[in-house]
Chains A and B, each alone.
Chain A
Amino acid sequence: MASSVFSLASATPSASLSSHDIEKGKLNLRNTSLCFKKEKNNPFMKTKSFGRISMVVASNVSRFEGITMAPPDPILGVSEAFKADNHELKLNLGVGAYRTEELQPYVLDVVKKADKLLLEKGENREYLPIEGLAAFNKVTADLLFGADNPVIKQQRVATVQGLSGTGSLRLAAALIERYFPRGEVLISSPTWGNHKNIFNDAKVPWSEYRYYDPKTVGLDFEGMIADIKAAPEGSFILLHGCAHNPTGIDPTPEQWEIIADVIQEKNHIPFFDIAYQGFASGSLDADAASVRMFVARGMEVIAAQSYSKNLGLYAERIGAINVVCSSPDAAARVKSQLKRIARPMYSNPPVHGARIVANIVGDAALFKEWNAEMEMMAGRIKNVRHKLFDSLSSKDKSGKDWSFVLKQIGMFSFTGLNKAQCDNMTNKWHVYMTKDGRISLAGLSLAKCEYLAGAIIDSYHNVS
């Protein structure tokens, strides 16, 4: 076969070589008459004549032929599979994006107002500074730590606008890789699926601390504490500020204190991922209690924020990375290094989402409206939890305790279903969820609770 490709004197550029002919890009050119004499060892060359002009045409072999098809993202892939399903009862409980009772996406009224306001203001589109919009950075730190927090007054917080939660986490990971070369991150087992990818790509080693107890469908607190204690001193402990993803299981306030104790004892660095401030309980301050408690103890804290859920700004990619340092000088230096990481990654962050947040949080009336809408969203999810619990309890005669649905908080619930049971949920009941047993209650309506309860009970009892 090797000679046949090059014997095609009028070979078109799109003629492709069979993979049999190609072995890691090496080609046998010995028998071809079109071999370009000067470059005997170059397999990527053949000449072609177009009238007067002799064009050097690139080879038919792709340099990327050997690349394999990557697997679809386990979380985002769920929505794609859902779209492809035509069943009328299908239910998408995959991605953590809020839906109304009518199961429609929701743009907050206050966001629509802000969008309109921005258009009327007609501000320019100049590049933001590398660290992002100053007005945004100010309000985001105030929101998380409280505007009166001493750490803010003392200028001990380095805040840099990031590309939502993911981008902010990535900046922090890169900072860790650069300045803490032996630093290791401990992540909960389980945790959001993308955490591992972020630390892997940033080349930061990670290990897990026990978190979820399948027996109780609750928190394995003793395991968590033991694993944090056992970690090498000065490790980074990744904590979900509220509404743990994917389990929905949060430590109690007393447990948070003990976690803080252990972290302090071992001189670990707490690294918070706060993607649901205000969205979990409905109160911005209540949901920030855990972070604020650590900060109040005088600890240095890293905290990544996202406005995807609480302001419904998913696609605007707006968040921030905050590093609370023990001195303003350290904060200034850390900020400069975060900028140095961002510049070769994307130069500067996008302006639109930052302006929306700054306008809403910076205006008393809009801020109040936001709080009301957030309470409404959190409230809808709490109602759905209650309805689901009621449906499960009334439908299931086995006596199984379904109360974990009520105890868990936030957008997600860990059902305790295993992979085979999850497959049953999808294949038999057309309920789309992630294979770890996580359902997004934000994608559930009161009207569908009965149906879902039936699916869960069937999967739990009849599939193993």
Chain B
Amino acid sequence: MRPEFASPSSSSSSSADRRLNALVRHLATASMVSQTAVAFSPTSGFHGDSVFSHVVRAPEDPILGVTVAYNKDPSPVGAYRTEEGKPLVLNVVRKAEQMLLNDKSRVKEYLPIVGIAEFNKLSAKLIFGADSPAIRENRVTTVQYLSGTGSLRVGAEFLARHYHQKTIYIPQPTWGNHPKVFTLAGLSVKTYRYYDPTTRGMNFQGLLEDLGSAPSGSIVLLHACAHNPTGVDPTLQQWEQIRQLMRSKALLPFFDSAYQGFASGNLDEDAQSIRMFVADGGECFVAQSYAKNMGLYGECVGALSVVCRAADVASKVESQLKLVIRPMFSNPPIHGASIVVTILKDSNMFNEWTIELKAMADRIISMRKQLFDALRARGTPGDWSHIIKQIGMFTFTGLNSKQVEFMTREYHIYMTSDGRISMAGLSSKTVPHLADAIHDAVTRMS
């Protein structure tokens, strides 16, 4: 039954007619199989063609998609696991939450666009050091955002709008989500050499060459510590060389700090690279995340700091950051940031936190040692010392995608196809199994 349509000039028809027509169309649709009737346009929303029919299915996220494929055992996603293979909520976090719950004066009113003021102050102190001249001179603006990603995105959007150089150089390789964060923010992305697969260490010469040939003023993404995915960090001497080179070319540093305290076990040590840059009086961007070091992953807590040359510039920058945030999500979520404040401002809780943090870092370092020893014991061909030289949650094993596929098929070990494994997901019990798998993969597949 073909529907009778009211013509566009039917505005003179009664509302009853219009209602009837609408009803007729509705009934007609129900009995129609998607025909391209004259009256229906391809944009029709009826049970025929969807207006979204041209929307294709997006591929699964290469990192989070691995978790989707596998839901039992320790996840290869960068999330810490205990020796028993379980996620960990820090004791000090539970304590903080109890304190927050007991505080009857707490409300859930909208936070300011830039988040909790105390959180911002404490986060800046944590990363730059309490005695940082940049903080003393009010040259830092720190704003609360949605964990590391959110902070990177907002910083990048700001740069795309207000900075004269729209290119960011990212290390090769880098966290899988980095390129999209920057391109969608409006920056163009180039890479600089970073990892040397033959040594499974740094390609420092390549790094210096590539940064050296970058146009003056370009933005450079730096992993503050515990490089993701390789686990390969510059030495302090190398950091100093990088700093000098960058300052001589006026390259703008954008630090991604997702592992402060989690890499070495020491908060100050893991912030040294950043503090070195700030000490020379120059400007930089820093994205901080509390996902790993406080185990607050899903609470999405982070901060973006912009260190400026002058206090008035910092406050102008802050005002412009607010313009980026308001149409994105208005203001940040309160829960995770409140936990952070509770912990950072109380010296006892802060100490408790550093102890739990060190325990996590130490466990990962011990897993590295165990895996290295296990491979040596099996006589697995190759030099595996990079496993103990690399730092942080991840190890770039050096395994190729065929070997990775093999390990998944034969040993049910899930890891990203670039050969990255999450050390945080290992335990003494599972190390032998992994060592067997690596050994098998290396000897049987090349």
Contact = CB atoms under 8 A, between A and B. Distances in A.
B49 to A, nearest CB: 7
Given A70-B319, A97-B109, A128-B298, A350 B333 contact: yes
Contact of A351 (B107, B110, B244, B299): B299
Contact of B283 (A62, A67, A337): A62
A287 B29 CA distance: 27
Interface of B: 5-6, 8, 11, 15, 18-19, 21-22, 25-26, 29-30, 41, 43-58, 61, 64, 68, 77, 79, 86-89, 93-94, 97-98, 101, 106-113, 133, 137, 146-150, 153, 162-164, 177, 180-181, 183-184, 216-217, 243-244, 247-250, 252, 280-283, 291, 295-300, 306, 308-310, 313, 315-317, 319-320, 322-324, 326-336
A14 B316 CA distance: 18
A122 interface: yes
A23 interface: no
Given A68-B316, A327-B50, A261 B299 contact: no
B47 A13 contact: no
Given A58-B280, A59-B250, A336 B57 contact: yes
A107 B79 contact: no
Contact of A317 (B44, B310, B333): B333
Interface string A210-227: 000000000000000100
Contacts of A194: 326-327, 330
B153 A344 contact: yes
21 contacts: A13-B281, A25-B164, A56-B244, A58-B250, A62-B308, A63-B163, A129-B64, A194-B330, A198-B327, A202-B327, A257-B19, A297-B26, A298-B30, A308-B110, A317-B329, A317-B332, A317-B333, A327-B47, A330-B52, A344-B181, A350-B333
Interface stretch (A2-10, A162-170, A365-373, A415-423): A162-170
Contacts of A84: none
B416 to A, nearest CB: 15
A-B pairs, 5 with minimum CB distance: A13-B281, A58-B282, A351-B298, A44-B250, A315-B334
Contact of A60 (B54, B148, B309): B309
Contact of A261 (B19, B97, B315): B19
Interface string A347-386: 1111111000000000000000000000000000000000
B247 A119 contact: no
B46 A336 contact: no
A127 B297 contact: yes
Interface in A389-429: none
Contact of A347 (B147, B310, B319, B328): B147
Contact of B329 (A69, A170, A261, A340): A170
Contact of B335 (A70, A164, A327, A352): A352
A39 interface: yes
A57 B276 CA distance: 11
Nearest to A257: B19
A201 B247 CA distance: 32
A163 B113 CA distance: 13
B248 A39 contact: yes
A296 B97 CA distance: 44
Contacts of A69: 315-316, 319
Interface string A109-131: 00100011001001011111110
Contacts of B77: 127
Given A67-B320, A125-B89, A105 B57 contact: no
Nearest to A314: B110
Contact of B247 (A45, A179, A298): A45
B327 A67 contact: no
Given A39-B248, A197-B326, A315-B109, A339 B283 contact: no
Contacts of A265: 5-6, 8
A60 to B, nearest CB: 6
Contacts of A233: 41, 43
Contacts, number: 321
Contacts of B283: 58, 62-64
Given A57-B281, A257-B15, 18 more contacts: A13-B281, A45-B248, A58-B282, A58-B309, A60-B309, A62-B309, A68-B320, A125-B87, A125-B297, A163-B330, A254-B15, A316-B335, A317-B333, A333-B55, A336-B58, A346-B153, A348-B64, A350-B335
A313 B336 CA distance: 14
Given A313-B108, A333-B57, A298 B45 contact: yes
Contact of A333 (B5, B52, B68, B297): B52
A44 B216 contact: yes
A439 to B, nearest CB: 18
A190 interface: no
A57 B54 CA distance: 54
Nearest to A330: B50
A45 B250 contact: yes
A314 B298 CA distance: 18
A201 B183 CA distance: 15
B12 to A, nearest CB: 13
Given A127-B298, A267-B41, A179 B327 contact: no
A44 B249 CA distance: 8
A91 B387 CA distance: 63
Contacts of A350: 146, 298-300, 333, 335-336
A289 interface: no
Contacts of B164: 25, 63
A14 to B, nearest CB: 6
B48 A326 contact: yes
Contacts of B216: 42, 44
A14 B113 contact: no
B317 A64 contact: yes
Nearest to B79: A126
A185 interface: no
A200 to B, nearest CB: 7
